[in-house]
A and B are shown apart, each in its own frame.
Chain A
Amino acid sequence: MSRPAHRKPEYHKINKDLFVLTYGALVAQLCKDYEKDEDVNKYLDKMGYGIGTRLVEDFLARSCVRRCHSYSEITDIIAQVAFKMYLGITPSVTCNNSSRTEFSLILDKNPLVEFVEELPAGRSSLCYCNLLCGIIRGALEMVHLAADVTFLQDRLKGDRVTEIGITFLRKLDEKKYRRKK
């Protein structure tokens, strides 16, 4: 009796420019829909959150990472495995506080902004890649970790590097399913 081959599902790759330009079109449309930068940032984060809650399942299915025992391990995995898998880049990780709950991902290459020279006039506080923050936040929440994820520095705003800050908050409890009486 032959064992059926457990073929890995084929992961379709798409053209990078198509992806980058689609993201740009998304941000441009949000800018048309909302006047205030805070609103655009908020909706990018919200969309990212929805993506992250599902993306994490794909990530776990494909990467078979071991269970992590510390926040720094988790941040390393986000930078070295997840970013590599989905964006093809590997940001470097730094720890920002002694209790090891605040970390930064330093991106020196960011494919999403490849065609963006500078932020449009009147949009100086737009976080162009805020989708990424929402994705990380949504993904972490699905593995029972609450975190604040924001851009600390942004090359598009004139900073030297692009830096995403992840602050781990308390661990979310697994709620036992309660019987409805």
Chain B
Amino acid sequence: MTVHNLYLFDRNGVCLHYSEWHRKKQAGIPKEEEYKLMYGMLFSIRSFVSKMSPLDMYAESEEMPRKDGFLAFQTSRYKLHYYETPTGIKVVMNTDLGVGPIRDVLHHIYSALYVELVVKNPLCPLGQTVQSELFRSRLDSYVRSLPFFSARAG
């Protein structure tokens, strides 16, 4: 089980951060194009999912406190997990197929890493790629410490 890579986008589609750990195949296009493609796809999937949902999206039930649509997709080789905040910050993580729902992990990346280290730092401008080395290294150690991350891609 492993984590392949992670994208962090803001509400305007700017890619705030990208890290990869085990990526055997590149997309074959420049990174900027790749980020735009990823963001555009996510934007379309979100609206598709809510439009085509056969059930009322905003259920009042307590079991799923944040029933807000698109959560993940999977292919025969990898799974893409998605988490979005009401402010439009999007955390996207590609893992292999053995990994279950990881909303709490993505929420932790948002709350304990992005908010604590970037938003609360007045010298970190918002709306552009995060330059903070502290953020990059803490994120890296956090992902490497996850139970479903193994140093050997499996």
Point out residues on A near B: beta carbons under 8 Å.
1, 3-4, 6, 8-9, 53-54, 56-58, 60-62, 64, 66-67, 69, 142-144, 174-177, 179
Contacts and interface: CB of A to CB of B under 8 A. Distances in A.
Chain A to chain B: the 6 pairs with minimum beta-carbon distance, closest first: A177-B13, A61-B111, A61-B115, A57-B119, A142-B87, A143-B86
A161 B87 CA distance: 32
- What's the interface size class on B, roughly? 20 to 34
B131 interface: no
Given A54-B126, A56-B87, A67 B68 contact: yes
Contact of A1 (B85, B89, B120, B147): B147
Chain B contact residues, majority secondary structure: loop
Contacts of A4: 145-147
26 contacts: A1-B147, A4-B146, A6-B108, A8-B112, A9-B111, A9-B116, A54-B119, A57-B85, A57-B87, A57-B89, A57-B115, A58-B120, A60-B85, A60-B87, A61-B110, A61-B111, A62-B111, A64-B65, A69-B58, A142-B11, A142-B87, A142-B88, A144-B88, A174-B88, A177-B13, A177-B43
Contacts of B147: 1, 3-4
B51 interface: no
B39 interface: yes
B100 interface: no
A175 B12 contact: yes
Contacts, number: 65
A119 B40 CA distance: 52
Nearest to B43: A176
B48 to A, nearest CB: 13
Contacts of A179: 36, 40
Given A3-B147, A177-B40, A58 B65 contact: no
Contacts of A3: 147
B63 interface: no
Interface string B100-118: 0000100110111011100
Contacts of A54: 119-120, 126
B66 interface: yes
Interface in B61-94: 65-66, 68, 85-89
Contacts of A177: 12-14, 36, 39-40, 43
Given A66-B65, A177-B12, 15 more contacts: A6-B108, A8-B112, A57-B85, A57-B89, A58-B115, A60-B86, A61-B115, A64-B107, A67-B58, A67-B68, A67-B86, A69-B58, A175-B12, A176-B43, A177-B43
A69 B89 CA distance: 20
Nearest to B39: A177
Contacts of B40: 176-177, 179
